[in-house]
Amino acid sequence: MLESIRGDLEGLNHDLGLEYYLALSGQKPDAEMAPIYAKYPRVSQRESIDVVRAALVKAEADKPTDSVPRAWGEAPTAIHRRGLSDEVRRLRFLLEAVILTHLDERVKEQSDDLLNREASATVQAVGGRKFTFRSALAALGNESDRDRRGALAVAINTVFRDTNGLRGEMHGALHSGARSLRYPAYTDMIEDLCGYSVTALRDALAGFLKRTEDVYREHMKWLLKRDLGLAPGDARRDDLAYLLRAHSQTRYFPKEPLVERATGMVASMGIDPRAEGRIHFDTEERPQKSPRAFCSPCRVPEEVYLVIQPAGGHGDYAAFLHEYGHAMHFAWTRAGEPVEYRYLGDNSLTEGFAITMDHLLMNPEWLRRVVEHPQPKEFLREYATQELYILRRYAAKVTYECDLHAADGPDGMAGHYAELMSAAAGVPFPPEMYLYDVDRHFYVTRYLRAWMMEACLSSALTQRFGEDWFRNPKTGPFLQALWSTGQRDTADELVRRIGAEGLSPEPMLERVTRYLD
């Protein structure tokens, strides 16, 4: 039965990935995920969980784990990740997949409803102009008139508020599903499955917030004053949305040569930028297309879609490079790897590869040679301030999500969300976002671990191949070797393999503050 589960899991991932791609790229009016889950019922059945769990217990009994030391941030159950057989590793990844798929199947109708409501929702701006909800999110960062921008933000918040009931239903269903699987709490389930401690990560990032408080406020004050003429106490979240677009820098990051510049860079690293035709770029403009770039690895490694709707500016470059990192990771995975390593595993790994690519915007040599920026030092100070804002926001998010999942329910958490996020960002955050700004299954922790991984990987690439590693023909084969095993490694294992001691906030802290002088 294990092989049948693996086969169905691969089919499910392909079909969901394709549906996700078509719906969010604006090529399909409605997302229809529910029928896909019905097509592969074995993957989400409780019986499959029991079968995989029994196989794992048997496999782990063949090799004791007491002698394997724990690494920083690892949950007590994480020692099964390292130093054990390939069979145990695959079964751990498989167990995580069938349990999370079992939970996702419980909310499949609500997921479809939510995607479709967001796709069809319209937002009316000042002057009577209408936006789709998704296009309004992008327009917020491009509206230079502060009054119009504020009114648009209020209208967007209405969509957040109108969909919170549905999100609350999904939250409750996921928690009841975890309890039905005999986990004492949702967070306990996630820690058991992912193999690291969410709460240890939260505590480490609380220290990061304290240590970066003064430098963040100093530089954000400078940026708000310079670009918007505002003091931090007068700024709103929609002001940050406009500020972070860095409109004064747009001329250095035109949208027309974006794909050509990125693919040319990868070619200079000694690898095929389209992975021998397996990577498909979707850059067409469509009204219902998500403004957020994404990568959909429908069939790994043969069919990988990279979707973006570029508007110009450094944000497009960062988004494209990020998704390009995902795309190359999946498209250069060996076809013979088992399904667990092609689709499952620690997503901190693929996010780490993606962030390594988008963080080229923090590389002065890349700015000089690829975008020919005449003043990289000025840009780097501004971009590092923006990056610190994002890191602080995500550090606050992990605290908020721990509190959210520890509460009896989401009711009453809106104010707590606004308080934590406002303190981290230095500007008021709308409480209406308290469920919108939550990724399923603590995915926020994958991003945070990926930022830690990126700091180690970028340092290793620089040490091996120079500051301009992005144009060294030896870099590509090195990265290909890391990509080739898919997600067999965890992010912790990857950084140890390239010579670092393990994941830690310290390299990330040094990385982001390097240009804040």
- Over residues 377-415, the pLDDT tens digits come to 989 999 999 999 999 999 999 999 999 999 999 999 999
Please tell me the predicted confidence (pLDDT) of residue 269: 97
pLDDT per residue as tens digits for the range 168-209: 999 999 999 999 999 999 999 999 999 999 999 999 999 999
Question: Which of 129, 126, 111, 118 lies closest to 158, judged by CA?
Answer: 118
Q: Over the stretch 76-121, which tens digit does the pLDDT of each residue have?
A: 444 344 556 899 999 999 999 999 999 999 999 999 999 899 988 9
Nearest to 311 by CA among 140, 124, 122: 140
Helices and strands (H, E) in the chain, number of each type = 22, 5
Work out how many domains the chain is built from and give that number: 1
Judged by DSSP in three states, 9 sits in helix
Whether 24 shows a pLDDT value over 70: the answer reads yes
Tokens of 363: 């590389």
User: What is the span of the domain harbouring residue 263?
Assistant: 2-513
Whether pLDDT at 321 is above 70: yes
**Residue 153 main-chain phi, psi, to 5 deg:** -65, -40
Which long-range contacts link 478-485 to residues 24+ away (Cβ below 8 Å)? 479/269, 479/271, 479/328, 479/353, 480/271, 480/332, 482/353, 483/328, 483/329, 483/332, 483/333, 483/353, 484/332, 484/333, 484/334, 485/333, 485/334, 485/337, 485/341
Residue listed under structure tokens 């491009």: 142
Mean pLDDT of 277-305: 92
C-alpha to C-alpha distance for 260 and 44, rounded to whole angstroms: 42
Residue located via tokens 């997302």? 31
Local confidence band at 68 (pLDDT 50, 70, 90 cut-offs): very low
d(CA 333, CA 174): 32
Nearest to 43 by CA among 331, 339, 336: 339
> How many Å apart are CA 157 and CA 452, to the nearest integer?
32
146 vs 67, residue with greater confidence: 146
> Residues with Cβ < 8 Å from 48, sequence gap 6 or more?
1, 5, 42, 98, 102
Question: Which CATH number is 438's domain given?
Answer: 1.10.1370.30
What burial class does residue 372 get, using C-beta atoms within 10 Å of its C-beta: 0-12 exposed, 13-18 middle, 19+ buried?
Answer: exposed
Q: Does this model's pTM top 0.85? A: yes
Residue written as token pair 């009711």: 411
- pLDDT score, position 310: 84
Q: Is 189 exposed, middle or buried (0-12, 13-18, 19+ CB in 10 A)?
A: buried
pLDDT confidence of residue 81: 47
Report how far residue 212's alpha carbon sits from residue 458's, in angstroms, rounded to the nearest whole number. Answer: 21
State the Cα–Cα distance between residues 46 and 53, nearest whole angstrom: 11
| pLDDT value, residue 36 | 94
Confidence at 127, pLDDT banded by 50, 70, 90: confident
What b/e sequence results for 121-157 when a residue is b if at least 16 CB atoms lie within 10 Å of its CB, and e otherwise?
A: bebebeeeeebbbbbbbbbbbebeeeebbbbbbebbb
| 130 has a pLDDT exceeding 80 | yes
Q: What is the pLDDT of residue 289?
A: 87
pLDDT attached to residue 63:
66
Contact 135, 151 (CB under 8 A): no
Whole-number mean pLDDT of the chain?
A: 92
